[in-house]
Amino acid sequence: MTNRELFEKARGLMPGGVSSPVRAFKAVGGDPIIVSHAKGCRIWDVEGKEYIDFLMSWGPLILGHCHPRVVKALEDQLQKGLSYGITNAHEITLAQMVVSAMPSVQMVRFVSSGTEATMSAIRLARGYTGRKYIVKFEGCYHGHYDGLLVSAGSGVATLGIPGTPGVPEEIASLTLVLPYNNVEALKEAFEKYGEDIACVIVEPIAGNMGTVPPKDGFLEALRELTRKYSALLIFDEVMTNFRVSKGGAQELYSIEPDITCMGKVIGGGMPLGAYGGRKEIMEKVAPEGPIYQAGTLSGNPMAVVCGIATLSEVFEKNPYEQLEQTSKYLCDSLSEILSRKGIPHTINRVGSMLTVFFTDKEVYDYSTAKSSDLGMFAKFFRALLREGVLIPPSQFEAWFLSTAHTREDIDQALSRIERAVSSI
Ligand code: HOZ
């Protein structure tokens, strides 16, 4: 069956034909592809067409698809059981790896997704401080938990979904939303509500309004103000953990949050998330403390061994310099291609996560991200797809590279991109 035939069938069976909204290509038009298989930095659709993959499952696959060490770990575990519902030794190994990589994390709780991690971290912050209000930033996305969907990025931004239908006003009103990278707005909010703020949650490098790095002083101000008002600082490192450096964005910018949320790379492509922080905070989580959070598949052995194999490879090979070089080469060359064609653009990049915005202005928050020419993005996306390059089907997302993307792969991608751009 073709992509179109399968998608038509899917639409009758699943809302929008997808298991997650951004996969429907609604913002970019055209038929979504239906994936058949993937290997290294390449992915194939059911019609046999091959694409160089810069979506990389939205971030987890830092080693590319089907890395032999990861495949072997999963095959071995397959013979030993899919799920136990009782603690397994692998969880302890992975917990040790996480704690060793991030000094701010002394204890960790495994969950099954990034959404679960942020949702549980918010509950923990409220339970720990006894306060109700949370602060988030416009265009940041922390999964689809009710209180965090207000002014969210990712699919909410992509599809232009207004407000948060289904979320009671009473819950939404406990979320204070501020512009990203704006220290003045932060100070004002703390002056007004400081005593009632349980926590500030932030993507230390935003990825869900497209890639937007923190300006100098922004994370520092967050740390200082949360300390001053005894609120907790939560870093949502679901996109950045083990991606931008071994110790995540907190290592890159030398800021220690109180709680860190993890996902994506930590599970290497299997459903795994985690949240962790100082012992004194984490000990409030049940059964050690009174704040409840649980899960039948939490710490699932298949997911955990996949995470261990991925992180072991990353810790041993320390691929961050290689990722930096390949990603820089891609961005520099891509920028030349767009400039030659006279297309205004700004590329934001931190290590191997990046976004091409179609504006010549600096992009430093959600409103500047929204100034990108979305029509041009849609044309760019479709032209790339035609030529065999897959990027996220949304302006408000990040592209990801992996260790499987070699210089030759990037050169091949660039010639496909050049052909695509000349056809726009
Ligand atoms: N969490 C991903 C990054 N924005 C989006 C993936 C999805 O919503 O399906």
**CA 306 / ligand 1 centre spacing (Å):** 20
CATH topology of domain 3-62+319-423: Aspartate Aminotransferase, domain 1 (3.90.1150)
Q: Coil, helix or strand for 297?
A: coil
Can 145 be counted among the known catalytic residues? no
pLDDT, tens digit (0-9, with 9 covering 90-100), for 306-336? 999 999 999 999 999 999 999 999 999 999 9
**CA 228 / ligand 1 centre spacing (Å):** 33
pLDDT attached to residue 163: 67
Q: For the chain, give every domain's residue range.
A: 3-62+319-423, 68-317
Per DSSP, the chain holds a count of helices (H) and strands (E) of 15, 14
Burial class (CB in 10 A: 0-12, 13-18, 19+), 223: middle
Contacts of 102-105 spanning 24+ positions with Cβ under 8 A? 102/241, 102/247, 102/248, 102/250, 102/251, 102/260, 102/276, 103/247, 103/256, 104/250, 104/256, 104/257, 104/258, 104/260, 104/277, 104/278, 105/260, 105/276, 105/277
pLDDT, tens digit (0-9, with 9 covering 90-100), for 367-409? 999 999 999 999 999 999 999 999 999 999 999 999 999 999 9
Can 141 be counted among the known catalytic residues? yes
pLDDT, tens digit (0-9, with 9 covering 90-100), for 82-113? 999 999 999 999 999 999 999 999 999 999 99
Which tokens go with 57?
Answer: 């499952």
pLDDT band at 218 (very low <50, low <70, confident <90, very high): very high
Contacts of 369 (CB under 8 A, 6+ apart): 139, 209, 210, 212, 357, 363, 395, 396
Nearest Cα neighbor of 182 from 206, 162, 163 is 206
| Residue of minimum CA distance from atom 2 in ligand 1 | 58
Q: What one-letter code names the amino acid at 58?
A: W
Mean pLDDT of the 347-358 span:
98
319/324 Cα distance (integer angstroms): 9
Question: What's the gap between Cα 332 and its chain centre?
Answer: 23
| Neighbour-count burial for 278-297, b at 16+ CB within 10 Å, e otherwise | beebbeebeeeeebebebeb
121/147 Cα distance (integer angstroms): 12
Judge whether residue 156 has pLDDT over 80.
no
Q: Are strands 273-277 and 346-350 parallel, antiparallel or unpaired?
A: unpaired
Judge whether residue 168 has pLDDT over 90.
no
CATH topology of domain 68-317: Aspartate Aminotransferase; domain 2 (3.40.640)
Mean pLDDT of the 175-186 span:
96
| Residue of minimum CA distance from atom 4 in ligand 1 | 154
Burial class (CB in 10 A: 0-12, 13-18, 19+), 31: middle
CA-angle at 358, arms to 355 and 360, nearest 5°: 105
pLDDT attached to residue 77: 98
pLDDT attached to residue 153: 80
pLDDT attached to residue 299: 97
What are residue 133's phi and psi, to 5 degrees? Answer: -75, 145
Q: For ligand 1, which residues put their CB under 6 angstroms from it?
A: 20, 22, 58, 141, 154-155, 208, 397
pLDDT attached to residue 162: 60
Q: Confirm whether 3-62+319-423 and 68-317 share one CATH topology.
A: no
Nearest Cα neighbor of 135 from 58, 212, 191 is 191
Looking at 45, 236, 365, 409, which residue is catalytic?
236
pLDDT, tens digit (0-9, with 9 covering 90-100), for 260-306? 999 999 999 999 999 999 999 999 999 999 999 999 999 999 999 99
Looking at 51, 128, 133, 141, which residue is catalytic?
141
| Residue of minimum CA distance from atom 7 in ligand 1 | 20
**CA 144 / ligand 1 centre spacing (Å):** 10
DSSP result, 103-151? TT-SEEEEESSHHHHHHHHHHHHHHHHT--EEEEETT----S-GGG-TT
74/67 Cα distance (integer angstroms): 11
Contacts of 222 (CB under 8 A, 6+ apart): 186, 200, 202, 233, 255
Judge whether residue 259 has pLDDT over 70.
yes
Number of residues in the chain: 424
Which tokens go with 262?
Answer: 């993890």
Q: What one-letter code names the amino acid at 249?
A: A
| Residue of minimum CA distance from atom 9 in ligand 1 | 20
Which tokens go with 124?
Answer: 């923990």
Mean of the per-residue pLDDT values of the chain: 96
pLDDT band at 149 (very low <50, low <70, confident <90, very high): confident
